[in-house]
Every structure is written in C-alpha cells, then in structure tokens.
C-alpha cells in the first residue's frame, strides 16, 4: 500500500468529464462524451448557470444536450432522451466491472471530504451515500465503497462489517475508459440512408440508427487511413450520414391491427416476423401502401435536409442518397420520377392543367380522323372523352354512346392493336409487353425532392429483379436518372437479394461486375490463391489435352512406307508443330485479359462509368455460400470496402483523391 501523505498536502481540483447514460436491453451503460464535446459542455456549464436553459450540440450536431435538465436529445430522429452527468467520482459495478459515476451532488460531497483529508492529512474518512452505503477514504490511492448485503437482521451489524468492497476512483483519468477524440467540425457532404424491410437492419437486429452509426464510424477511420494528406491540408472534414426511417410510419397506419385479426395463432413468432418484415415487400407493391411509403421517404428526406441546413448554415457541400435492399428500390422509383428542372416543369404543369381537357380531345379527334370517323367527334367531345379514357373504353361503353357497330369495331381494333404493339418507354426503361396496364411501376404520385442528389448508392439491391418483373426488358443506354448523375450498385457475392443492373443495359455482352478492391490494397489472400489454382489447373488441362492430341494423332496416322526422306522430315516438322501447340496455349489467357482491358460501355446511368461492384468475400465465407447468405445481405454497414468506395466517389466529385490509388479501382 502506498504511504499516506503528510498533513498539509497539496490539493488539486478534480477535472470533470461529461457522460451520458445509454440504455440497451434494460441495461444502463455510462458512455463518455468526446474530449471536445466534454470541453464544450464544461464551458457552457461554467458560463450559463444563471440562464434558463443552455443547449449544446454534441456528437457532430446529431444530439443536443439541455444542460439545466441534464438531458441528451436526438435531433434528426425519434429516440428516448437520456440522462447526462458531469462526472468526477466513480465506483466499479458488480456485473461488468465497468466504472459507474456517482450522482453530481454526492460527488461534490466526496470531493469536499477528499479536499479536507488531503489538506489536513486526516484520512479514514467515512461518508454515507444516498442509498445508505458507506464510502471510506483510506488514502489517496485506496478508497472503498461498501455495498451492504440485504438480510433479515440488518440492524445487528454495520454495513462496513457486512458488505463487500467496491473500488472507488477519483477523476476520469484513473478509470479504464476510452474517450473518443470527436469528429471533424467541417462537413463536406451529406448522405441520407434508407433502410430495407423490417425494423431491424443487421444480423444483430439493430435499428437503422445504430447501423448508420457504425457506417459513419467506419467512414471516419477510412478518412484517417486513406485521406490523410487531404486532412492535413484541411481539404477534407467528414461526410455526415443520416438515417431515414419509413417502417414505423407504414406500420402506424393501423394495418398491423388488421393483420393481427387474420393471423393464425400457431408458430406465433415466425408469423409476427413475417408480418413485420417480409410483408413490407407486398406493401410496397400495393398502390395504397406504396403511396404511404414514398410519401414518408421523400418528406423525411426533405425534412432532414431542411433541418440540417438550418443547423449548418455554412454547409456548401452536395447531397447523396443510399438505400439498402428494398430501400434502394424505393429511392430508384423516386429518382426515376423526379423532374429535371422543377421551375420549367411547374410552368408546363400549370399550362397543362388549363389545356389538359382540350389537348386530350384534340388527340381523340386526330385518332378519329385517322380511322375516317370524323363525324363522331362531337359525340366524344360531348362525353369529354380524352385519349386515356378512349383506351379504357369497352364495346359496351361505345354502344351506350350511340356509336354504330362498324365504327365501334374500327375503334376497338385500333385500341387492341396499340396495346399489342405497345413499347412503353418508362423514363427510358424499355418495356416490351402485351398488356401494359398491370405492369411498370406501382401507381402512385411520386413526390419531388428539394435537392438534386449527386450520387445514388444501392447496397444489396433487388432493383434489377423488380424491373424485370415489371416487364422491363432492357434499360436504354442513353438513359440517366433525371436529377442524379451517379449510380452505384454494390453487392456481396453471396447476397440472395442482390441483382445486377449492367446486363439490362448491354444484354448482348457477358462480363463480370467490377471487383471492389480491399481497403488495405490488393485482393484477399484466399481469392488470389483461388485464382492461382484456377490458372494452374487450366494450364495443366491444356498441356494434358495437347499431349493426348499428339498421342491420338500418332496412333491414328495411316502406316505409310518410308519412300522419301523428305516426307519423313515433313512429318517430323508436323509433329514438332503439334508438340509446340500446347506450349502456346497457356499464353492465350493473358491475351484475352488484354482484350478485356478496354472499358465496357454501360450507358449513361452512371455517367459512362461502371455500375455493378461486387465485394470480396471473407475467407471463412468462401467455405459455404449458403451458410453466409443472410450475413451477405446484412454486411454492408460495417464493410470498410463499401464505405471506402462511397467516400472515394463522393470526394472525387470535389476533385479529392485517395492518398494512394487502390489496385483494380477505376
């Protein structure tokens, strides 16, 4: 034990650090604020005691701390407010051996007792906590908290005799806790992240907020590792990622009550899981609930954008959007329905409102003239029949309008022929179909976003599959999203929900997606080994086939008498030629690789650049594809390779590149 100080020792005030309480699964955990946030809170605490309430933004501006109420409140999403504490004294907990801060009032009492003990050299001080627990200050290095054990005769013995001791520490520097450095103040770019089906977004059943927190933390470490030069030159701050939640809005419409009423009582947990997650896909394909979903996503992104600009008036960066699973499809549908120039489109919309009925009737007149039925124009005009209404007409409707049988047949034949030969250009997505009505996008009014996204990132996306199911055969190479010039489709090779996009643009070519380079450079070792073994097996196969071919040729050659020496020489040359052939075969694959190096034209959807990017699977995942399929769909939140691609493409729009280009990247 260290020696006790002599009377009249020097007292130094304790340096406080601010903590907040995090509740997970009914367990409380005290988490320290970053060093810069704690300093800011301490400054405000010292300056704003007399004020009613001081609000200090923390955690990169995503949480506000109300100093007087000691509450930490989320800014951009709904979350239960948590307690905040100015901490100086701590004791070690029983369950996980982590230090827990004492209340501020009791900490002040402890500090006062400590000050007297140090100044006067009077130790062995006893203090009683609000819970009637005893703390004894033996010396500056040994302070113990006695926690009494409950029994029927508590009054018989003192808590000190009966309790078990806990370690007490003064000051945050004396406890084992990692204090984060904090985030750069400068925000270069804003990214909205939309989740997929269900309330849980990863294998640990965490919410979109927690998963996006992981994504953001990985991005901060990737910036330090790969953009160090730009950070030193203060060209780079950070990218802010904000979650967009639509699941809670959808399931607060009362549909859960309706589903509960018709759900069978057996296998209750599985049925509840299906109702809460998988049914979201069917909800999106219903025009009623699709409208709720797209309205929620668009209005939430607009709200978050406006709130972010209010809180960051100096922000001059761009905005991008990212979607996981079904969230990427929702964003794709929203983006395909954006108007390139809102002012012009609004002007056109106003004009069309005033002339829509006339325009529609004029089109019907043109059709009737083409069919040599101009005399019936007045009838159609009287019924206010426009082109759309005409194509919905049945024989019964035309008969009720008084159209004779002959003209009726002509009109119906024209409508059916147009339906059969219909090529529906849905914003450049070419659909070939016999009956276009039930296909294409779900019928909904897609809202407009208040900004033009720079890039759209899709993680584990089923966009390609949904487009195919809707009747889209191919995407026009000249097509690009009206307001967004960048589009990246990123997927894990074992993700069962992910589909490619590029083969829909160039169906005549077969080519692999771009392999995402590992964030530490080069390919993963097991992939290099696999490729090496594949190359070796091809070489062995070619050599073996070459040897067998030579043997077979010599075996099946007709026996010719050696009439001339010249003929035998010719045969020897032929044999030598055939023997040399296998040697030249293995050199062909590199030539084929060289031919693939010219870039593949995948259209304008991503500004002429590649769209499909595949992650490298981990060594353990390559043992069994099926075992890691679910993990493959939920791996993106903590994937350094995914995050690095997102950062690389975002900063490339600002002319900032990686410190060292990764091999295999564009």
State pLDDT tens for residues 309-320: 999 999 999 999
Cβ of 269: how many Cβ atoms within 10 Å? 7
* pLDDT at 323 > cutoff 80: yes
HSE at residue 614, side-chain half, CA atoms within 13 A, is 17
* Catalytic residue of the set 219, 325, 454, 461: 325
Contact 487, 606 (CB under 8 A): yes
How are beta strands 89-92 and 164-170 bridged, if at all?
antiparallel
Query: Is 3.30.1490 the CATH number for 187-338+446-521+600-654?
Result: no
Which residue shows structure tokens 């810069």?
Answer: 36
Residue spans of the domains in the chain: they are 17-149+162-170, 187-338+446-521+600-654, 367-434
Superfamily of domain 367-434 in the CATH hierarchy: Transcription Factor, Ets-1 (1.10.150.50)
For residue range 39-84, list pLDDT tens digits in order: 999 999 887 654 667 899 999 999 999 998 999 999 999 999 999 9
**What SS3 class is residue 7?**
coil
Which residue shows structure tokens 């960066």?
Answer: 317
**Across the beta sheet with 423-426, what order do the strands follow?**
423-426, 429-432, 472-475
356 is catalytic: no
What is the model's pTM?
0.73
Contact 211, 196 (CB under 8 A): no
CA distance 304 to 242: 8
How are beta strands 99-101 and 125-128 bridged, if at all?
unpaired
pLDDT (average), residues 466-491: 93
Percent with pLDDT over 90 in the chain: 42
* pLDDT at 559 > cutoff 80: no
**What SS3 class is residue 169?**
strand
Q: Answer yes or no: same fold for 187-338+446-521+600-654 and 367-434.
A: no
pLDDT (average), residues 160-176: 77
- The string of DSSP letters for 37-52 reads HHHHHHHHHHH-SSSS
Please tell me the least confidently modeled range out of 49-58, 112-121, 169-178. Answer: 49-58
Q: How confident is the model at residue 359 (pLDDT cuts 50, 70, 90)?
A: very low
pLDDT of residue 642: 95
pLDDT (average), residues 15-42: 91
Classify burial at 347, counting beta carbons within 10 Å of its beta carbon; exposed 0-12, middle 13-18, buried 19 or more: exposed
Mean pLDDT value across the chain:
80
């Amino acid at each position: 034990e260290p020696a006790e100080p002599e009377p009249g020792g020097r007292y130094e005030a304790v340096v406080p650090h601010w903590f907040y309480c995090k509740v997970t699964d009914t367990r409380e955990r005290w988490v320290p604020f970053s060093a810069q946030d704690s300093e800011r809170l301490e400054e405000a605490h010292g300056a704003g005691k007399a004020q009613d309430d001081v609000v200090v933004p923390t955690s990169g501006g995503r949480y506000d701390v109300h100093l007087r109420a000691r509450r930490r409140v989320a800014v951009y999403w709904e979350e239960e407010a948590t307690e905040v504490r100015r901490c100086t004294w701590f004791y070690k907990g029983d369950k996980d051996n982590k230090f827990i801060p004492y209340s501020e009032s009791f900490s002040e009492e402890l500090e006062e007792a400590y000050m007297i003990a140090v100044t006067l050299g009077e130790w062995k001080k006893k203090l009683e906590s609000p819970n009637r627990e005893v703390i004894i200050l033996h010396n500056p290095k040994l302070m113990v908290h006695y926690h009494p054990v409950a029994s029927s005769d508590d009054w018989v013995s003192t808590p000190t005799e009966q309790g078990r001791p806990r370690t007490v520490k003064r000051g945050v520097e004396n406890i084992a806790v990692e204090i984060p450095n904090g985030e750069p103040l400068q925000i270069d770019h804003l990214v909205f992240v939309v989740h997929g089906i269900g309330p849980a977004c990863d294998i640990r059943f965490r919410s979109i907020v927690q998963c996006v927190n992981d994504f953001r933390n990985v991005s901060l470490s990737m910036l330090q590792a790969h953009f160090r030069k730009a950070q030193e030159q203060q060209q780079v701050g950070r990218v802010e990622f904000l979650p967009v939640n639509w699941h809670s809005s959808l399931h607060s419409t009362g549909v859960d009550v309706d589903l509960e009423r018709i759900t069978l009582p057996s296998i209750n947990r599985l049925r509840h899981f299906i109702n809460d997650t998988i049914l979201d896909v069917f909800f999106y394909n219903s025009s009623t609930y699709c409208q709720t979903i797209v309205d929620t996503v668009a209005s939430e992104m607009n709200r978050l954008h406006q709130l972010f600009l209010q809180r960051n008036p100096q922000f001059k960066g761009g905005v991008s959007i990212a979607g996981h699973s079904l969230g990427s499809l929702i964003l794709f549908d929203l983006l395909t329905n954006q108007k390139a120039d809102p002012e012009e489109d609004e002007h056109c919309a106003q004009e069309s409102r005033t002339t829509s009925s006339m325009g529609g009737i004029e089109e019907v007149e043109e059709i009737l003239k083409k069919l040599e039925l101009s005399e019936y124009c007045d009838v159609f005009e009287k019924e206010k029949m426009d082109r759309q209404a005409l194509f919905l007409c049945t024989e019964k409707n035309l008969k009720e309008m008084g159209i004779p049988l002959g003209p009726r047949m002509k009109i119906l034949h024209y409508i059916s022929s147009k339906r059969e030969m219909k090529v529906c250009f849905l914003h450049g997505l070419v659909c070939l179909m016999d009956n276009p009505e039930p296909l294409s996008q779900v019928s909904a009014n897609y809202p407009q976003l208040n900004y033009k996204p720079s890039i759209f990132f899709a993680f584990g996306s089923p966009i390609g599959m949904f487009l195919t199911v809707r009747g889209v055969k191919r995407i026009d190479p000249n097509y690009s999203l009206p307001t967004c010039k960048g589009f990246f489709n990123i997927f894990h090779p074992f993700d069962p929900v992910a589909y490619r996009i590029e083969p829909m643009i160039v169906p005549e070519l077969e080519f692999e997606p771009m392999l995402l380079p590992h964030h530490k450079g080069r390919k993963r070792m097991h992939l290099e080994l696999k490729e090496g073994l594949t190359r070796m097996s091809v070489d062995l196969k070619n050599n073996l086939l070459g040897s067998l071919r030579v043997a077979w040729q010599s075996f099946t050659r007709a026996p010719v008498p050696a009439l001339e020496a010249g003929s035998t020489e010719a045969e020897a040359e032929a044999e030598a030629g055939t023997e040399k052939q296998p040697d030249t075969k293995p050199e062909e694959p590199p030539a084929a690789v060289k031919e693939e190096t010219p870039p593949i034209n995948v259209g304008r959807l991503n500004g002429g650049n590649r769209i499909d990017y595949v992650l490298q699977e981990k060594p353990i995942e390559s043992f069994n594809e099926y075992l890691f399929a679910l993990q493959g769909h939920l791996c993106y939140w903590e994937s350094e390779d995914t995050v690095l691609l997102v950062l690389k493409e975002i900063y490339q729009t600002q002319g900032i590149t990686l410190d060292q280009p990764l091999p295999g990247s564009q």
